[in-house]
Amino acid sequence: MEEVVPILYDGELSLLDQRRLPFKEEWVRVSGAQDTAQAIQQMVVRGAPAIGVAAAYGAAMEFRRASACGDLDDIEKRLAVLLGARPTAYNLQYAVKRVLAAARRAEANGDDPALAAEDEARRIDLENRKAAERMGELGATLISDGDSVMTICNTGSLAIGYLGSALGAIKAAWRHGKNIHVYALETRPWLQGARLTVYELQKEGIPFTLIVDSASAITIQRKGVRSVFVGADRIVADGRTANKIGTYTLSIVAKAHGIPFYVVAPTSTIQLEKTDMALEERPPEEVTSIGGVKISTAGDAVYNPVFDVTPPQNITAIVTERGIARPPYQDSLKIMLS
Amino acid sequence: MEEVVPILYDGELSLLDQRRLPFKEEWVRVSGAQDTAQAIQQMVVRGAPAIGVAAAYGAAMEFRRASACGDLDDIEKRLAVLLGARPTAYNLQYAVKRVLAAARRAEANGDDPALAAEDEARRIDLENRKAAERMGELGATLISDGDSVMTICNTGSLAIGYLGSALGAIKAAWRHGKNIHVYALETRPWLQGARLTVYELQKEGIPFTLIVDSASAITIQRKGVRSVFVGADRIVADGRTANKIGTYTLSIVAKAHGIPFYVVAPTSTIQLEKTDMALEERPPEEVTSIGGVKISTAGDAVYNPVFDVTPPQNITAIVTERGIARPPYQDSLKIMLS
């Protein structure tokens, strides 16, 4: 068992380049909002909570770069590039806004905004780790000894910074000695499952089987899969959950086979005030090329939504660091966050 | 509009190498049962009806190669390699058995078995073309002007030899002047959709959009897809349909969105006597590598079923060259074939 650490901060930020995994373990150094935003946009770092932590440090570094008497309004303008790096992960908005608010509070109190910003970023990172640990423990209670479970995308240490969300629950069950088997969806187009989840499962020593995304139904049907665990990029008040493309499809397949479908995500992913999902679409080339090899002549005739939205009626429970919410989510999420 | 012809016979068989499409149009020549079986196994030619036609010619060539007084029992033994080339497509069994039976009848009547075998192969080819034309016309009646339709795998000229089955219905609707839009699933692992269906749609000039397989649900939901058309590798008496991996998943998604799900296939695909589906699994490398590029460290920890089975309750209708069968298929298929 080897813990995967994708984000390191020592005044500058080091990001394990997730575009190169699993074949190369290379680190990218960033030192401000602009290059952190670029790293997020290009998916050097991905996974909603990890994006949030990287963005928090990216914002904090921007305050440090400014002179002690830097104008916070100017800095706030430079943070816009971070907020716009990727649209769906709510953690990104959440983290940057918290760092900015901490700096403004410090300034109002006559303290150093840069120090306060950095402290807040470290606090977000720490909260994130604690949330992952707690989510993992809670999620693991939903997995029994001998279970086969299915998951999509990568929701492990690479996505969260520590343990994971959905994959964290699976890892926690394994660490508690439960004998489990993981069916990992490869997760086209970016292959987070085939590349990153397999990499983490191998480091952890958990038995697994890789399948193509469209084999979810036959695998649940023929391999006795007991439950599905997924992460989330954004959860709104009624429980609707934006997550990696294919999650909605998988929720329909799980429901058709009568097996539970669990969302595991930190509360920083939940956005009670809004209903908007801001679903990102990415370039056609992510579909028409794989690893630099062109596979189709489709050109721009591609629909490449990176996320879809799973409706609450397909979700058995939402696991956060604060507990396990069950339907109706309109009530249970509000109570959880109060 | 340009007709795609994947199989040519002039005493030897020429097969358009579907492993190289869409980027290279190369032909492979075969001259007997052994190399035809290898071409089928390696997917130079694929698609259940096209496999059947290729196997028929492969068998016929084997009779021609034998001397005029060749022992039919010996030839039959050499045809076993064809029958075992791929397990799922019923057309393969059907075609080889017909060619063999024709040769045996000729011998019993004092005629030339080799000539009879070749005649029977040409007859299967011709029947296949006529079936494709008729299926296309019937299937096209299920598509209205302005419809968006979704399809998986390649079920066009490349798979059938002429027009196609599911894609044939779509093409026929287009040729009748209906304004349609096709959402093509890329169809991992072999990418028949991204490579072959896109290639055929572009030759035909039909507007299309390529999506990853797991985006089926969001696309049906957000793009107003009206119906799903798929082919079949094997249909049994109760309507259960073996087809490309992901078809079962897609049928669940279609049902969840309340849109019709149509199977289009020639009657040579239907096997009323048996219930066995003989689902093929192929090597892990088809999942862990794409176009020669390794994408995962999963090694052999892969489940790669090439087909799945769609239950009759998910199928709105089965379109063959003899008509449109509706549930209960136990009755409608029997009547259709009687």
pLDDT above 60: residue B68: no
pLDDT in tens, A313-326: 999 999 999 999 99
Count the Cβ atoms, other than its own, within 10 Å of residue A155: 33
| Confidence band, pLDDT 50/70/90 cuts, at residue B280 | confident
Name which of A210, A214, A302 is nearest B210 (Cβ-Cβ).
A302
DSSP state of A110: T
Structure tokens at A62: 């921007």
Name which of B186, B216, B294 is nearest A249 (Cβ-Cβ).
B216
pLDDT above 80: residue A200: yes
| Confidence band, pLDDT 50/70/90 cuts, at residue A74 | confident
Q: At B7, phi and psi to the nearest 5?
A: -135, 125
Q: Cα torsion at A252, A254, A255, A260 (round to 10°)?
A: -130
Sort strands B241-244 and A307-310 into parallel, antiparallel or unpaired.
unpaired
What's the pLDDT at A1?
62
Average pLDDT, chain A: 94
Q: Where are the domains of chain A?
A: 7-132, 138-337
pLDDT above 90: residue A71: no
- Give one DSSP letter per residue of B124-179, joined into a string: HHHHHHHHHHHHHHHHHTT--TT-EEEE-S--BHHHHSSSBSHHHHHHHHHHTT--
Q: Does A294 touch chain B (CB under 8 A)?
A: yes
Are the C-beta atoms of residues B240 and B307 closer than 8 Å to each other? no
pLDDT in tens, B223-267: 999 999 999 999 999 999 999 999 999 999 999 999 999 999 999
Q: Taking CB atoms and an 8 Å cutoff, what residues of chain A touch B294?
A: 23
CATH top class, domain B7-132: mainly alpha
What's the pLDDT at B67?
58
Name which of A209, A218, A252 is nearest B245 (Cβ-Cβ).
A218
Q: Please list, in sequence order, all residues whose beta carbon lies within 8 angstroms of the beta carbon of residue B321, skipping any fewer than 6 positions away.
A: B130, B131, B132, B133, B134, B135, B138, B266, B267
- Give one DSSP letter per residue of A188-217, joined into a string: TTTTHIIIIIHHHHHHHT--EEEE-GGGHH
CATH number of B138-337: 3.40.50.10470
- ipTM for the predicted complex comes to 0.92
- Cis omega before residue A22 (within 30°)? yes
What's the residue count for chain A?
A: 338
What residues of chain A, 153 to 192, have a C-beta less than 8 Å from chain B?
183, 185-189, 191
Q: Does B321 touch chain A (CB under 8 A)?
A: no
Q: Does B208 touch chain A (CB under 8 A)?
A: yes
Are the C-beta atoms of residues B29 and B45 closer than 8 Å to each other? no
pLDDT in tens, A281-296: 999 999 999 878 899 9
Q: Please list, in sequence order, all residues whose beta carbon lies within 8 angstroms of the beta carbon of residue A253, skipping any fewer than 6 positions away.
A: A216, A217, A220, B249, B252, B253
Count the Cβ atoms, other than its own, within 10 Å of residue B107: 14
pLDDT above 80: residue A70: no
- Give one DSSP letter per residue of B161-172, joined into a string: SSSBSHHHHHHH
pLDDT above 90: residue B277: no
